Amino acid sequence: HIEKQTADKLDASVGDLVAMRYFERAYDYLLALCEECESADLVIASHHYMYPAIRHVYRGPVIYESHNVEADMKCAVLGVASDYIKEAQACLERFESYDPKSAEEWLAYNQAVERWCAKGAVLVTACSEADATRLQSLYSIKPGSIEIVPNGVDMGGLLFAEREERERYQSRQLMQHNMTAVFMGSWHGPNLEAAEAILDIARQMEQQGNAQWQFWMMGSVCHYWQDCLRDGRLDALPSNVRLLGMLSETEKAVVLASADLALNPMLAGSGSNLKMMEYTAAGIPVLSTPFGNRGLEYRDKSEIIECELSQFVPYLLARNGDSDMPNILSARELTQDVYRWENIAQKYSNFLLALLRT
């Protein structure tokens, strides 16, 4: 009930924020958490949202596994400029009774809890150097207590398709007369902004009479645009856009094996883009903004094509076959070496073992 009221008021997904503030109402969860923590030598807070619940039942060492700089991320989600971020100490001073209502109050509360979690953790892990620098700047995290653990991908769950195999998939689906660009993402502020950029690109291509390119979107980001069509906020999609919605892993693998290009027109957000690793693991060439490639080791004109959003349409119009395309084998090799979960898990395991020995 509280979550729905808050989501309606703020026009955003707020389940994590509400769970953070009202964790004590989830009695069964707290009971299970207490039982799990009772004999724990170390607790990992994946995100900071349940840190208040953890500290309610546990006083031992905690690792903060940060996936993003959540103070900045929630600003994007709630549509408030990130430079708004103000001192959140007042929230902590009356933490138990603090009753956030407005977007600004929820953001202050969110920042207060992230600060509490980051400063109280024996180790903070960030998924990029940029995030680590930002967390240290925001919360004065002591040197040596933050490590980089990148996002990763399950290589075994994706179908790697080289050019010939990709053409066979396209032929089976009667796609060989068009070029298809794909984007995938969740219903999340920065992804919605990227999807809107793709709709604008599609409209430009449509207005120029270019029927060569089709644009496919998949993931829960599609639900937002479907809602916009239903309630009249959007009159119609461009004729060259398809919303595929939520797909199974098998269906997603087929889409990635069939498309000619993956788009990553990200302009905002935190952390690193997991979609980049999935695209490259599947062997699909990637066109990304520099921001979309932040914190990652893919190189322009080597593993990916990187350019500003304003250059996406000229690139698509000039694209001809395999010219000016990245090396998909090099991209996949880099993904396997640096972003494969097994390799990342070993690095993370070493951090945990080192802490347990101290």
pLDDT value for 35: 96
How far apart CA 51 and CA 48 sit, in angstroms, is 5
pLDDT value for 93: 62
pLDDT value for 89: 59
Which of 73, 68, 98 is closest to 12 using CA atoms?
73
Residue 352 CB burial class (10 angstroms; 0-12, 13-18, ≥19): middle
Taking a C-beta distance cutoff of 8 angstroms, is the pair 6, 18 a contact? yes
pLDDT value for 189: 80
Contacts of 332 (CB under 8 A, 6+ apart): 160, 280, 281, 283
How far apart CA 261 and CA 318 sit, in angstroms, is 14
Please give the distance of CA 283 from its chain centroid, rounded to a whole number.
20
How far apart CA 89 and CA 153 sit, in angstroms, is 37
Tokens of 271: 């952390």
Please give the distance of CA 291 from its chain centroid, rounded to a whole number.
13
pLDDT value for 272: 81
pLDDT digits (tens, 9 = 90+) for 305-324: 999 999 999 999 887 555 56
SS3 at position 12: coil
Burial 279-313 (b: 16+ CB within 10 A, else e): bbbbbbbbbbbebbbbbbebeeeebbbbbebeebb
Which of 54, 46, 49, 34 is closest to 3 using CA atoms?
49
Name the stretches of the chain with pLDDT < 70. 81-96, 174-177, 320-324
pLDDT digits (tens, 9 = 90+) for 127-142: 888 899 999 999 998 8
SS3 at position 70: helix
List C-alpha distances in Å: 21 to 26, 146, 158: 11, 26, 38
Contacts of 358 (CB under 8 A, 6+ apart): none
Taking a C-beta distance cutoff of 8 angstroms, is the pair 305, 276 a contact? no
List C-alpha distances in Å: 351 to 36, 47, 82, 143, 346: 21, 18, 32, 16, 9
